Amino acid sequence: MTPSPHPTARHIINPRLDKLPDYPFERLRGLLDPLAPPPGLEPISLSLGEPQHPYPDFVGEILHDNRHLYGKYPPVAGTPDFRDAVTEWLNRRFDLPGGMIDPDRHIAPCAGTREALFRTAFLAVPPEKAGKQPVVLMPNPFYQCYAGAAIAAGAEPVFVNALAENHFLPDFAGLDPAILARTALVYFCTPGNPQGAVADLAYLENLVALSRQYDFTLVVDECYAEIYDGDPPPGTLQTCTGNGELSGILVFHSLSKRSNVAGLRSGFVAGDADLIKLFRNLSEYGGNPSPLPVYAAATALWRDEAHVVANRALYVEKFDLAERILSNRFGFYRPKGGFFLWLDVGDGVAATKKLWRQGAVRVLPGSYLSADDPRGGNSGDPYIRVAMVFEHAVMADALTRMSEIL
Ligand SMILES: Cc1ncc(COP(=O)(O)O)c(C=O)c1O
């Protein structure tokens, strides 16, 4: 990611937004659109993390059965049934002590987690921290929303490398204490996008302790928590033993990846009651709650595990396939979670162009997801990100093309 002042942005009134670089997919279009893929090969786009597996039929049925509710403004707090379903799911999935999560105080729905993650910066970033401009920490590489939110909220984004040598987990505690003192908010993601690293409970406990020591809001994006290979990834709420322990913590979960309904736009945030109250209040002013039929479908999805188990098995089969085709090459490893391959191809931009020009396969250069190092270079330079989202046969075709071309 190269923050380049936007040349056409002179009319923008808020000068902070000049610091927002073009979004990676816009940059990818700029890179690949001038190049023609080979004629006769069906293009396969593995750049976007948009799940292509089917979602349960009952989603359509519930939306249809509840269509009379499209005429109503939906409540920002969701329906009681939605909050109950989500609370039951959290308790089941993370084995939380009963009663720790109060559905009325600790849960807020969101219309997809992206906007909610973005909005959180506006409730967590004060004008100053330790007498200076606040800092928002995030891993590097990172989900782009975090950096956009930090910049839009007036904070300085600080990117903390998550490299192979630290198992793709950022060492937040190792930062200069002066930076930590200015930190108002930390975005962390487990399982991580793009590398699929999973933080263990000890890592999460240390991060929670750091948030208390330096008094920052800890946001943990757990939207890939249900896509894993092996043991279920732990969740940050597992570090909390009672209501008081939730203070300063927000976790985000989404149906987009769990249930393959990215277009339904439904997720939720759970955690600190005061922050949830503020979050809901901000929603009242400028949020866009999901329609009531969507809450009904989402409620049923959180209560159903069968489709999630089947979905996970499809990803595991595809990682078996990738291992057969790519193992011992490009630094291949099986990610513990999520559905991306993060391949070390030497020069990610050159490989992306080559794959498109010679194989009609679209991937994303790792550097488009990583911030430039202030000392030069970009830790994402050697990598490409490959979204394993299509069905088995399409992925087999794409991975074979990739293996032959690279
Ligand atoms: C790490 C991460 N967080 C959050 C999201 C947002 O998902 P949604 O807004 O669909 O819930 C995505 C989507 O790609 C993601 O990769």
Q: Quick check: bond before 194 cis, omega within 30?
A: yes
- What is the reported pLDDT for 374? 84
Domain ranges of the chain: 9-51+307-405, 58-304
Ligand 1 and 366: CB distance under 6 A: no
Contact 372 CB / ligand 1 (< 6 Å):
no
For residue 9, the model assigns a pLDDT of: 53
**pTM of this prediction exceeds 0.85:** yes
Q: For position 271, what pLDDT does the model report?
A: 97
CATH no. for 9-51+307-405: 3.90.1150.10
- pLDDT given at position 34: 97
- Do residues 190 and 197 touch, judged by C-beta distance below 8 A? yes
Which residue's CA is the closest to the ligand 1 atom numbered 14?
49
Q: Residue 245: what pLDDT?
A: 82
Within this chain, domains 9-51+307-405 and 58-304 share the same CATH topology: no
Q: 236: Cβ below 6 Å to ligand 1? A: no
Per-residue pLDDT tens for 33-43? Answer: 999 999 999 99
| CA-189 nearest atom, ligand 1 | 1
Edge to edge, what strands does the sheet with 135-140 contain? 107-110, 267-271, 249-254, 217-221, 183-189, 135-140, 156-161
The alpha carbon of 219 and the centre of ligand 1 are apart by a number of angstroms equal to 13
Report whether 76 contacts 284 (CB < 8 A).
yes
Nearby residues of 325 by Cβ (< 8 Å), 6 or more positions away:
396, 399, 400, 402, 403
Give me the pLDDT at residue 367, please.
Answer: 97
What residue ranges of the chain have pLDDT lower than 50? none
Model confidence pLDDT, tens digit, residues 156-178: 999 999 999 999 999 999 999 99
DSSP 321-382: HHHHHHTTSTT----SBSSEEEEE-S-HHHHHHHHHHHH-EE-EEGGGGSPBPTTSSBTTTT
111 lines ligand 1 (CB under 6 A): no
Report the separation in Å between the CA atom of 275 and the middle of ligand 1, taken as the mean of its atom positions.
Answer: 21
Please tell me the distance between residue 195's alpha carbon and the centre of ligand 1 in angstroms. 14
**Residue 187, SS3?**
strand
Measured in Å, residue 223 CA sits from the centre of ligand 1 at: 6
Q: Which CATH class is domain 58-304?
A: alpha beta
